[in-house]
Amino acid sequence: GPDHWANRYPACNGSSQSPINIVTSSVMYDSSLGKLQFNNFDRIPSGAKIMVRNNGHAFQVNFMTPNLFYVHGGGLGANFTTAQFHMHLGEDDTRGAEHLIDGQRNAACIHIVNYNTKYPDISTAANKSDGLAVIGVILEVGAENAGLAKVLKYVENVTKVGNVSDLAQEFSLGSLLPSNTDFFRYKGSLTTPPCYESVTWTVMKTKTTISHDQLMKLRSIMEKDGVHKITDNYRHILQPLNGRTVKSNF
């Protein structure tokens, strides 16, 4: 488990790890950050190949066609292209989101993983200090999440590991974001091994919702052994800031 990751992946003991508890009273407003800009987040361009898959520890949607979806602006300092998004959730509705805002733990989160276009692919970018930009959206239990609903109808196709399903139907990445895209920003890491400290984190200030039924559907996805389910797949241990500053664009 997470306590022993560092034995095999030394970076997991690093000083700039994620997730963190974002204490809003200590966040610094940075006027230079500005707004995030998104390309093709409003639609799926024709010819885009998108796969829904169960990678054994998360429900994940992979964008197989490179350089179609972009995130830039917002102080990122480069163009980042979207590689995938995946979800973290808990065994019950009280936990599952990785980042906390003022100590509040929510039911789930979506991580939209983007890599710096100066690198040829995500595996090259993954361990570079400027390699990754991940957008975290925290989900609280409430109304059905309409954007996720379009993806969740594929869940039954991916209950076994490695199963893949084409996301044929109209879906947009933007539908996963809150309408207000104000954000918190800090430098951190992947929250799973190898825990590379290569992530510019953008955590959305505004939470979106997910229904209890949608969470139950996600919990039905089987883990690798086909017995356990993919829940509590989040890093429970909050990481110390170690002098890092959390900034905001609002």
Q: What is the secondary structure of 204-221 as a DSSP string? A: ESS-EEE-HHHHHHHHTS
Query: What is residue 7's predicted lDDT score, i.e. its pLDDT?
Result: 85
Number of alpha carbons in the 13 Å side-chain half-sphere of residue 165: 19
Q: How confident is the model at residue 86 (pLDDT cuts 50, 70, 90)?
A: very high
Average pLDDT (62-79) is 93
- Give the rounded percent of residues in the chain with a pLDDT score beyond 90: 66
Lowest mean pLDDT among 68-82, 163-177, 231-245: 163-177
Identify the bridge partners of residue 140 per DSSP, sorted by sequence position: 209
User: In this predicted model, what pLDDT tens digit does every residue of 137-183 receive, in sequence order?
Assistant: 999 999 999 999 988 888 777 877 777 767 766 789 999 999 999 99
Query: What is residue 228's predicted lDDT score, i.e. its pLDDT?
Result: 67
Task: Check whether 90 has a pLDDT greater than 80.
Answer: yes
Spatial separation of the C-alpha atoms in residues 39 and 48, rounded to whole Å = 14
Query: What is residue 104's predicted lDDT score, i.e. its pLDDT?
Result: 97
Average pLDDT (63-90) is 94
Task: Check whether 109 has a pLDDT greater than 90.
Answer: yes
Q: What DSSP string describes 93-113?
A: TT---SSEETTB--SEEEEEE
- The tokens for 162 are 């490695």
Average pLDDT (93-110) is 95
Average pLDDT (7-17) is 93
Spatial separation of the C-alpha atoms in residues 189 and 11, rounded to whole Å = 9
124 vs 4, residue with greater confidence: 124
Task: Check whether 71 has a pLDDT greater than 70.
Answer: yes
| 8 A C-beta contact, residue 165 and residue 132 | no
Annotated domain spans of the chain: 2-248
- The stretches of the chain forming alpha helices (DSSP H) are 5-8, 122-125, 146-152, 212-219
Query: What is residue 48's predicted lDDT score, i.e. its pLDDT?
Result: 83
User: Which residue is associated with the tokens 């690093």?
Assistant: 14
Fold type of domain 2-248:
Carbonic Anhydrase II (3.10.200)
Task: Check whether 8 has a pLDDT greater than 70.
Answer: yes
Lowest mean pLDDT among 9-18, 152-161, 179-188, 214-223: 152-161
Spatial separation of the C-alpha atoms in residues 158 and 77, rounded to whole Å = 36
Query: What is residue 217's predicted lDDT score, i.e. its pLDDT?
Result: 87
Lowest mean pLDDT among 1-15, 71-85, 124-138, 170-184: 1-15
- Chain-wide mean pLDDT for the chain? 91
Average pLDDT (6-19) is 93
Pairing of strands 199-204, 132-141: parallel
List, by residue number, the catalytic residues. 57, 119
Task: Check whether 31 has a pLDDT greater than 80.
Answer: yes
Number of alpha carbons in the 13 Å side-chain half-sphere of residue 131: 18
Q: How confident is the model at residue 222 (pLDDT cuts 50, 70, 90)?
A: low
Spatial separation of the C-alpha atoms in residues 62 and 123, rounded to whole Å = 14
